[in-house]
Structure 1
Amino acid sequence: MNAAPTLRTTLSEIECFAGLDEQMLHRIGQQMQTHCFDHNQIISREGDAGDWAFIVARGDVAVVKKAEGGTPVHIATLRPGDWGGMMSLFERAPRSATLRAVGEVELWALGHETFQHLLDTTPGMGASMLQFLSRRLRNDSFTLASALQYVDAMGFEAIYRECSPQERLILDTINQQVAAAQSLDGVMNFLYDSISRVGACDRLSVAFIVEDGVRVVSHWTRSDADPLSLPIGYAADLNAGSLKQVIESGRPRVINDLPQYLQAHPQSGATQRIIDEGMRSGMTCPLIVAGRPIGFLFRNAREVGAFDEHQVRLHGAIAQSISQAVEKAYRIEELTEANRAYTEMLGFISHELRSPVASMVTDARLLVGGYLGDLTDEQRDKIQRSIEKGEYLLSLIREYLTLDQMESGMLQGTMQPSVDFTQVVVDPAINLVESDAHARGMSFAREYDDHCPRIACDPDLMKMATVNLLSNAVKYGRPDTTIRVTVEPGDQRLGVAVWNRGPGFTDEQRSRLFRKFSRLDSPELKQVKGTGVGLYSTWRIINLHHGRIRARSAAGEWAEFAFTVPTQQPADAPDPEQQSEANDA
């Protein structure tokens, strides 16, 4: 079956064909054929004759290589848009690995003879293909070497041969012990105790990649430092720091002199916190399951230069061995916590919102307005209080509906190319909360020009985010004070800040600000009703716009929440600066 009608767009997005014009892409697409495979079906086996290459059109393809002794090793996963079978295509060589369908798979295949003809007759294709192939071979070779250096029947051949008897005992028992552990805490405590017996380990922690792969959150830590400067719950945006490079390399990263590293990277707040705990060396190892990064295993020591090459290889082998068990334990805890939180939320809603709240508020307003007869002052006051309670319940409904949209992936945003941000977003947002502010004797200081540069954004979502920040300033700010709203145009970015006098928050509390259902544990703050959803929703909206949000405060005096967004939205990847101040390293 000819696959050309649906293939042209895909071909244009592949690097080796990106420079070709539409006519050439159409010609190439006409020469490719579609092949379909069921889940777990073998596409080709290692050693089979190979004379065709392919593009993954749908589904995933597992690449499995036999190690010494015949042990199969999963070395890569090909996803839609990825190439496969390149070596066989160029040389008619036997397949270097087994390909297996993961789910239902559809491939677009290109035969050897057809490929050679296209190379001869399509200007620019040969050079483009060779450059692409060179990069692909280099990456695959590294991936294969990284996988095979640890593999034998027990899982760690190269490192196993150079281990001490005590280290071998740990490697021999690690799978059994980890499998028997009933929780993530059990897995990690076993690791801490075991690693401490064979190398420097004064701190061990694990963090997981969450929020659709854009955020890393510390989930478990054991350290001889007390208190922890880098606590459980500390978060950082994956794309904003060096952790993404660790994921891309697939190898442990070692920093054997943390103070020296901090001098070269003074913006790394996480490094400063680790140093504050007395640590001087650090090792970061990616946790990868079936080619999918799930998090990081961090190990620290108090002395400089604690980790030699042997310790790095041993740590990498251990990380490979425990990744799957750690993820399973974490997912169980995550599901348990999510089930508990949502059960509580649903119980709350069913209890508080059983009656039609909106109708109740409307009827009460009719009464207060005198449409159904005169009321005494006491009656009017009582009904007005009922209206306020009903409006509060309606605000809860709106917040949870917004959260539900975000969690279900329905909140995608409708970008408009040219939005007057002050007139369409900021001014209407202030108008929405102004009556609540006046009721507390508060006023707004608008520190911006009437006409700021137009930006590309979803005005409704950005207004929602701005209202959230303004509402918090009104709710948590001190009465009879001024809320300062600033809009500052920048170099291809627009900044918005909301400042208010009030209880603020401490540095330790800051990391919890943008987390779902999280409220700060402060008596003054707890007096104000809230759900812990508003700031999280704001973070998601700013993140959707490839922006950055931050928070700063002088505890007991003032607080400021600010965000910046690009004036023009990128077409694909998130902005490299996108991050949350609450998550800043």
Structure 2
Amino acid sequence: MSIQSENIVEFTPSQEVSFPNVEITRIGLAIQELAQDLEGRYYELQKIMHITAQVNAGMYLEEILESVYRDFKDFIPYDRIGFSLFEDGGNVIRAHWAKAEYEPLRLGRGYSARIEGSTLEMIIQSGQPRIINDLEAYAKQKPESKSTRLVLEEGIRSSLTCPLIANGTPIGFMFFSSREPNTYAHAHIEIFQHIASQLAIMVEKGKLITKLATQKEELLTKNNELERLNNLKNSFLGVAAHDLRNPISNIKLAVSLMMDQRFDIPEDEQQMMFTEITNQTHYMLSLLDELLDISHIESGKFSLDLEPIELSDFLTDVVQRHNRLASAKGTSIHLDPVPAGSALADPMRLQQIMDNLVSNAVKYSPEQSNIFVHTVKAEDEWRVSVQDEGPGLTQSDQQRLFKDFARLSAKPTGGEKSTGLGLAITKRVIEAHGGQIGVESTPGSGATFWFTLKRA
């Protein structure tokens, strides 16, 4: 076989190959575009890796969304991002987060809508993002779409709605929105699809972390409440052991003396002993009632039967009843004229409030003194006050006044006993009515206790 030499062309290093200038320019531009595209994709990848790293560090859901809002502007244009999750087994979509370059947001957290029959249902079925570049025209076609009307009121004119699907399961939507029409193109869909799966997994992880954090906070709150109730129980037991021991011992001693035939106790002394037994028994019953009251309030078993109460008649009865008891100390209780009208309250609990405040005023007032009950009717509430001429309260006393088992520097003027629970219970009962309680006092100038009730 022979090879003909005229078919072979040899090149030497000194020879040049020439191409048309147009072709060289085209190749150069193509290489430049490829480099820019690779650079853009590398930048996108860096951003995604940055966000993923933050999520893997344990970011909460809201922090993930804030990061998306901050970092995604280089990929997808937007003036607003909304984020919604499925609820009710996928039948309802609820807005969980939204952020924009403007205020206010008309469509914000908490907005919900049913999926069935909506255009969002079609997006989930297709698994593909949807572009609407003229929301005003879309609203005319879909006048029933409340969410469209709301974002139009915000000034939004274009939207890119992207489904979030984690491990094959739809979990929600990401809404990119612009105040300019014709903002979105297929290229933006491609960009989102590059990050869609990672973003959905981030969201799922963020939801889990947020849920765990919420559960942890709830457990901590419950543990603190249990600890508080346990301390309260221990206080109850301590008070019961201490404050019931002495009365029981006194009663036991008095009964033993009266039963011992070796002692011939005069009738008047026996009467005094019976009176003391009665007083000690009354104190123990009062203490047990107050302990049970606080126990019911703290355990959530406390309830009110609210009804309109004519305050003039009610307070007149309270003052008359306590005047009979106060007369033993020469103390007089005066009721200032009460405006016509009713308060909304539980009658039994309101009587408990007034009994506590008036009996306290009598207890801490000197003999031959005066106590004044005064009322003011405001636009939507009553203010009732009880003023005494007792020793008054120091600032230290006022800080402890409404706490459980409070022990004050001021002492009852007639040797009366105090459990230290009455005002603590009164405060709880008034607050359960939606009212407030307070005190105004300076040492040596008496004290004025006041509380408010809603008008009926």
Q: Is the 8 A contact 1:444 1:484 kept in 2?
A: yes
Aligned residue for 2:449, secondary structure, equals strand
Q: Is the 8 A contact 1:430 1:467 kept in 2?
A: no
Q: Which protein shows a greater Rg?
A: 2
Q: 1:70 pairs with 56, 59, 65, which one?
A: 56
Q: Quick one: distance in 2 between partners of 1:452 and 1:386?
A: 44
Q: Is the 8 A contact 1:432 1:467 kept in 2?
A: no
Structure 1 alignment gaps of length 5 or more: 1-64, 77-82, 97-108, 136-288, 295-322, 365-374, 569-585
2:374 partner letter: T
Is 1:482 matched with 2:376?
no
Q: Quick one: distance in 1 between partners of 2:53 and 2:428?
A: 44
* More strand, by proportion: 1
Pair 1:70–1:490, CA change in 2 (3 A):
same
Q: Is the 8 A contact 1:67 1:73 kept in 2?
A: no
Q: CA deviation at 1:394?
A: 1.9
2:115 partner letter: H
> For structure 1, which segment, 495-504 or 385-394, has the greater mean C-alpha deviation from structure 2 after superposition?
385-394
Aligned residue for 1:394, secondary structure, equals helix
Residue in structure 2 matched with residue 567 of structure 1 by the alignment: 455
Pair 1:387–1:523, CA change in 2 (3 A):
closer
TM-score by length of 1: 0.40
Q: Is the 8 A contact 1:66 1:72 kept in 2?
A: no
Is 1:508 matched with 2:401?
no
1:386 partner letter: I
* Amino-acid identity (%): 24
Q: CA deviation at 1:461?
A: 0.9
Q: 1:387 pairs with 278, 284, 287, which one?
A: 278
Q: Is the 8 A contact 2:86 2:92 kept in 1?
A: no
Is 1:496 matched with 2:390?
no
1:85 partner letter: F
The CA deviation string for residues 431-456 of structure 1, in whole angstroms up to 9 with x for no partner, is 4433331111101111023x621122
Pair 1:523–1:541, CA change in 2 (3 A):
closer
Residue in structure 2 matched with residue 436 of structure 1 by the alignment: 325
Q: Is the 8 A contact 2:386 2:449 kept in 1?
A: yes
Q: Is the 8 A contact 2:391 2:410 kept in 1?
A: no
Q: Is the 8 A contact 1:504 1:559 kept in 2?
A: yes
* Pairing of 1:99-498 with structure 2 (within 5 A): 112-115=115-118, 126-127=145-146, 290-291=213-214, 334=228, 337-348=231-242, 351=245, 376-416=267-307, 418-424=308-314, 426-449=315-338, 452-498=340-386
Q: Is the 8 A contact 1:444 1:483 kept in 2?
A: yes
Residue in structure 2 matched with residue 10 of structure 1 by the alignment: none
Aligned length: 282
Q: 2:443 pairs with 550, 555, 567, which one?
A: 555
Is 1:85 matched with 2:104?
no
Aligned residue for 1:464, secondary structure, equals helix
Q: State the superposition RMSD in angstroms.
A: 4.9
Residue in structure 2 matched with residue 249 of structure 1 by the alignment: none
2:281 partner letter: G
TM-score by length of 2: 0.51
Q: CA deviation at 1:532?
A: 1.7
2:213 partner letter: A
Q: Is the 8 A contact 1:75 1:291 kept in 2?
A: no
Q: CA deviation at 1:473?
A: 0.2
Q: Quick one: distance in 1 between partners of 2:365 and 2:306?
A: 32
Pair 1:340–1:71, CA change in 2 (3 A):
same
Aligned residue for 1:387, secondary structure, equals helix
Q: CA deviation at 1:125?
A: 7.4
Q: CA deviation at 1:485?
A: 0.5
Pair 1:488–1:128, CA change in 2 (3 A):
farther
Residue in structure 2 matched with residue 240 of structure 1 by the alignment: none
Q: Quick one: distance in 2 between partners of 1:128 and 1:474?
A: 65
1:391 partner letter: H
Q: Quick one: distance in 2 between partners of 1:559 and 1:437?
A: 17
Q: Is the 8 A contact 2:319 2:334 kept in 1?
A: no
Q: CA deviation at 1:92?
A: 9.5
2:146 partner letter: A
1:344 partner letter: G
Q: 2:424 pairs with 532, 536, 539, which one?
A: 536
Pair 1:494–1:331, CA change in 2 (3 A):
closer
Q: Is the 8 A contact 2:404 2:424 kept in 1?
A: yes
> For structure 1, which segment, 482-491 or 380-389, has the greater mean C-alpha deviation from structure 2 after superposition?
380-389
Residue in structure 2 matched with residue 314 of structure 1 by the alignment: none
Aligned residue for 1:85, secondary structure, equals strand
Q: CA deviation at 1:74?
A: 4.4
Aligned residue for 2:403, secondary structure, equals coil
2:384 partner letter: V
1:347 partner letter: A
Pair 1:69–1:396, CA change in 2 (3 A):
closer
